[in-house]
Chain A
Amino acid sequence: MIRVFLAESRKLRRPGLFVGTMAAVIGVSALVTSLLFLLIDSARGNGRAGELVTRASLELPQGISVGFSGSAGLLGLVALCVFASQTAQEYSYGTLRNLLVRQPRRLTLLLGKFLAMNLFALLSVIFSAIVSVSLAYALSGKAKVSTAAWSTSDARISLIHTFINVFISVIAYGTIGMILGLLLRSPISSISIGVGWLLVVESIIAATVKNSGKWMPGQLMNSIASGGDFNASYSHAITVLFAYLVVGVTLVSVLFRRRDVAN
């Protein structure tokens, strides 16, 4: 498995993919945190989905990580795209046959790829955390937000919790991307269906069916990143999402192990 991990990491660290993705991550994190502080007095809201995050709440110890946790959904979409494309392209390029000739243990191949992409996701979350926290400090003066509570141990603990929750959320997005890539075997189809479902379909269902957000994977991943929210408690979100992922991963693992590689 370590060989698959190292080989996949070799592919993932190529400049076009690594620099491009990390630039997107930095851009997204910077945008979310900037809007949070620069629109603090806007009546139209400064947080996720028009939510109003007040100056008083930003001045709490948890305030340091609000921008970072708000980036989780977009970071997740980036992860979904990377995981889906890196998986499905093995079919579209026809490279899967080369991979299986050099590593015939199919589940080992799958797990090694998954772990390498997790490392990639971890780096993206680290970049996002650095950018979000740095910008929060940089913009706090302009937004007249006191940062006194941000250097307390409560703030550090909150930041660590947020980091773990965002990472879990991003990995969940990525896993969904990988599941779609293995099922659909086309980067474009898997990305468009994944992003379309999470951004459009779920929003429509959540807006029209009461309490449906508690069962929608995209909504649950956002709830996890926030450490639990109005949509679902943290424990509910973790439990339901974990169940979804176990079913999905089991299904695609069985398919991947048994399916003929005929392209």
Chain B
Amino acid sequence: MSIFALSVSDLSKKYGQQQALSHATFEVSFGTVCGFVGPNGSGKTTTMRMLLGLITPTGGNAHVLGEPISHPERYLDRVGAMIEGPAFYPALSGAENLRFLATLGGLATSQIPELLERVGLGERAESKYKTYSLGMKQRLGIAAALLPNPQLLLLDEPTNGLDPAGIQEIRELLRSLADDGTTVFLSSHLLSEIEMISDSLVMLRKGEVVFAGKTQELLLQQQPTILAKSADPKDLPRLLEIAHQAGHEGSVIGEVAHILGPTEWAGTLNRLAFDSGIILIQLEPMLPTLEETFFEMTGEI
């Protein structure tokens, strides 16, 4: 049996002359949460659709739960998915929509009330889908994805339209599912959420994988920044000059100097500043956030 829930190798998809995905290669281990990030149009949804057998790749291959994506019938009964937002029949209630999908998939309908409670839709279970707010539709989409008690969850922007409390609930739900052994592969534009929840990360840019690995490894690869604030703001240009002479570039943003350098160099900077008569009232080494890293790696700024 494969040790990976998802194993993607050289996967490509071309629509006419448009290369939607180019030679993507990555793996996702069982029982982990993997963030799938990239700017709009970078190929995230195309990849997810290929993993679900909805579209056919033009090159490469992939395995889901150890089975090739050319035979989705071998693994989809163990997969839950929500792709490109929730899609249900507007004239049916939330519960009816789930009963429809459960019947189609040969799944127990008795679990539906509990599932709806779990995603916070218990009180509106019998309301028609067309009366739901965007956040409620999103919750129903997540409930539908959980119907088969999946080994693998593929979620495309699951927190879209949710309020902050809802986002936190879904984050906790996904984390608890992963702790129970479910593999979660999710795309989101909320990079802070991805950073908080994911063990690993796949980053796409213009259809190509620019990073695939552990989230912490990615952040540690990035150049940390030392934030320094002097007692007299007029000293900041002189502080930048001292850093420059020591081989570290920086800039002043507001009344704070941002100097690129390893965390351990902060002490040296403090001593050099003191020797030059500059009193530092704040000295804070900082790792870049996933958002900053994303912007840098995808060239989105």
Q: With the chains together, A98 CA to B81 CA distance in Å?
A: 8
Q: Does B142 contact A (CB under 8 A)?
A: no
Most buried by B among A11, A17, A105, A261: A11
Q: For A104, what are the chain B residues with a Cβ–Cβ distance below 8 Å?
A: 53, 72-73, 76
The contact of B91 among A14, A105, A258, A262, by CB within 8 Å, is A14
Q: With the chains together, A97 CA to B91 CA distance in Å?
A: 18
Interface string of A114-147 (1 = CB under 8 A from B): 0000000000000000000000000000000000
Q: Does B99 contact A (CB under 8 A)?
A: yes
Interface string of A77-104 (1 = CB under 8 A from B): 0000000000001000111011111111
Q: Does A201 contact B (CB under 8 A)?
A: no
Q: Does B265 contact A (CB under 8 A)?
A: no
Q: Does A7 contact B (CB under 8 A)?
A: yes
Give min CB distance, A256 to chain B, whole Å: 12
Q: Does A44 contact B (CB under 8 A)?
A: no
Q: Does B180 contact A (CB under 8 A)?
A: no
The contact of A94 among B56, B79, B84, by CB within 8 Å, is B84
Most buried by A among B73, B90, B91, B104: B104
A106 to chain B: closest residue by CB = B53
- Say whether, besides A3-B106, A6-B103, A101-B76, A11 and B92 are in contact (CB < 8 Å): yes
Q: For B106, what are the chain A residues with a Cβ–Cβ distance below 8 Å?
A: 3
Q: With the chains together, A218 CA to B123 CA distance in Å?
A: 49
Contact indicator A7/B76 (Cβ below 8 Å)? no
Q: Does B267 contact A (CB under 8 A)?
A: no
Contact indicator B55/A3 (Cβ below 8 Å)? no
Contact indicator A102/B73 (Cβ below 8 Å)? no
Q: With the chains together, A94 CA to B97 CA distance in Å?
A: 13
Q: Does A50 contact B (CB under 8 A)?
A: no
Interface string of B189-207 (1 = CB under 8 A from A): 0000000000000000000
The contact of B73 among A4, A7, A99, A105, by CB within 8 Å, is A105
- Say whether, besides A95-B88, A98-B144, A101-B81, A260 and B55 are in contact (CB < 8 Å): yes
Q: Does B83 contact A (CB under 8 A)?
A: yes
B54 to chain A: closest residue by CB = A261
Contact indicator A100/B90 (Cβ below 8 Å)? no
Q: Does B101 contact A (CB under 8 A)?
A: yes
Contact indicator B104/A4 (Cβ below 8 Å)? yes
Q: Does B52 contact A (CB under 8 A)?
A: yes
B92 to chain A: closest residue by CB = A14
Contact indicator B100/A7 (Cβ below 8 Å)? yes
B interface bracket (residues with beta carbon within 8 Å of A):
20 to 34
Q: For B85, what are the chain A residues with a Cβ–Cβ distance below 8 Å?
A: 94
Contact indicator B84/A10 (Cβ below 8 Å)? no
Give min CB distance, B12 to chain A, whole Å: 14
Q: With the chains together, A103 CA to B76 CA distance in Å?
A: 8
Q: With the chains together, A14 CA to B96 CA distance in Å?
A: 10
Contact indicator B92/A93 (Cβ below 8 Å)? no
Q: Does B105 contact A (CB under 8 A)?
A: yes
B71 to chain A: closest residue by CB = A104
B51-81 contacts to A, CB under 8 A, are: 52-56, 72-73, 76, 79, 81
Interface string of A1-30 (1 = CB under 8 A from B): 001101100110010110000000000000
The contact of B104 among A16, A89, A102, by CB within 8 Å, is A102
Q: For A98, what are the chain B residues with a Cβ–Cβ distance below 8 Å?
A: 87-88, 101, 144
B128-162 contacts to A, CB under 8 A, are: 144, 148
Q: For A16, what are the chain B residues with a Cβ–Cβ distance below 8 Å?
A: 91
Q: For B90, what are the chain A residues with a Cβ–Cβ distance below 8 Å?
A: 93
Q: With the chains together, A89 CA to B56 CA distance in Å?
A: 23
Q: For A100, what are the chain B residues with a Cβ–Cβ distance below 8 Å?
A: 52-54
Q: For A7, what are the chain B residues with a Cβ–Cβ distance below 8 Å?
A: 100-101, 103-104
Interface string of A225-262 (1 = CB under 8 A from B): 00000000000000000000000000000000010111
Q: With the chains together, A261 CA to B105 CA distance in Å?
A: 19
Contact indicator A97/B87 (Cβ below 8 Å)? yes
A89 to chain B: closest residue by CB = B89
Q: Does B124 contact A (CB under 8 A)?
A: no
Contact indicator B56/A260 (Cβ below 8 Å)? yes
Contact indicator A97/B54 (Cβ below 8 Å)? yes
Give min CB distance, B251 to chain A, whole Å: 44
Give min CB distance, A144 to chain B, whole Å: 47
Give min CB distance, A157 to chain B, whole Å: 39
Contact indicator A260/B87 (Cβ below 8 Å)? no
Give min CB distance, B78 to chain A, whole Å: 11
Q: For A260, what are the chain B residues with a Cβ–Cβ distance below 8 Å?
A: 49, 54-56
B82-129 contacts to A, CB under 8 A, are: 83-85, 87-92, 96, 99-101, 103-106
Give min CB distance, B104 to chain A, whole Å: 4
Q: For B105, what are the chain A residues with a Cβ–Cβ distance below 8 Å?
A: 3, 102-103
Q: With the chains together, A262 CA to B59 CA distance in Å?
A: 17
Q: For B88, what are the chain A residues with a Cβ–Cβ distance below 8 Å?
A: 93, 95, 98
Given A101-B76, A101-B81, output 11 extra A-B contacts at Cβ < 8 Å: A10-B103, A17-B91, A93-B89, A95-B89, A97-B49, A97-B52, A98-B88, A98-B101, A102-B101, A102-B105, A103-B104
Q: Report 10 cross-chain contacts, Cβ distance below 8 Å, ordered by A residue.
A: A7-B101, A7-B103, A14-B91, A17-B91, A93-B87, A95-B88, A97-B52, A97-B84, A100-B54, A101-B81
